[in-house]
Amino acid sequence: AGQLAGGSTGKKLLRLVDRFAQSTYFQQAAKNKYIKKAMEDISNTPLVLTVEVQWLTGTLAINIPPMPTDRLWYGFRTNPHLSIVARPKLGHHVVTLTHVTDWIEKKLVSEFQKILVMPNMDDLIIPIMQSDLEFSKA
């Protein structure tokens, strides 16, 4: 599975955060007892994302390679029509900022399309298809 940060924008953001965290200003500020307490409170706050798939329609292709195999491959032939609702929570507070939830939903749909639209496919391991399984006779 891919990562949601995705692409060069996510990498640039991570590099910026790393540079900021390593700066002497940040290091000195982090030693302040009030800032330290606030950082501990934030780092201990659970971040939860609930995603509801409302509907998904499209043509799904399934590939079952010849034996020996234990996998079944699947993917959509074209971009499927997908409707999802993202509900982020920060601690006990539901994030109701529309532009934040819209951004999360667009990123999730984009990532879904990158992973599950042909030529990309995902696979399922199906143990009964393994060639080394011995079947006992009853």
How is the chain split into domains, by residue range? 10-44, 46-131
What is the band of 48 on the pLDDT scale with cuts at 50, 70, 90?
A: confident
- Which tokens belong to 19? 């540079």
pLDDT attached to residue 40: 73
CA dist list (Å): 109 to 56, 81, 82, 92: 11, 10, 7, 26
Please determine, for residue 100, whether its predicted confidence score (pLDDT) is greater than 70: yes
Q: What does the alpha-carbon distance between residue 43 and residue 3 come to, in Å, rounded to a whole number? A: 21
Of 17-21, 23-27, 130-134, give the lowest mean pLDDT range: 130-134
What per-residue confidence (pLDDT) applies to 11?
73
Q: What is the dihedral of CA 95, 98, 102, 103, to 10 degrees?
A: -70
Stretch among 69-78, 93-102, 106-115, 123-132 having the lowest mean pLDDT: 123-132
At residue 1, the pLDDT reads: 41
pLDDT the model gives residue 95: 80
Average predicted confidence (pLDDT) for the chain: 79
Quote the CA–CA distance of 67 and 91 in Å, as a whole number: 49
More confident residue, 91 or 5: 91
pLDDT band at 46 (very low <50, low <70, confident <90, very high): confident
CA–CA distance, 111 with 15 (Å, rounded to integer): 22
Residue 105, Cβ density class (10 Å: 0-12 exposed, 13-18 middle, ≥19 buried): middle
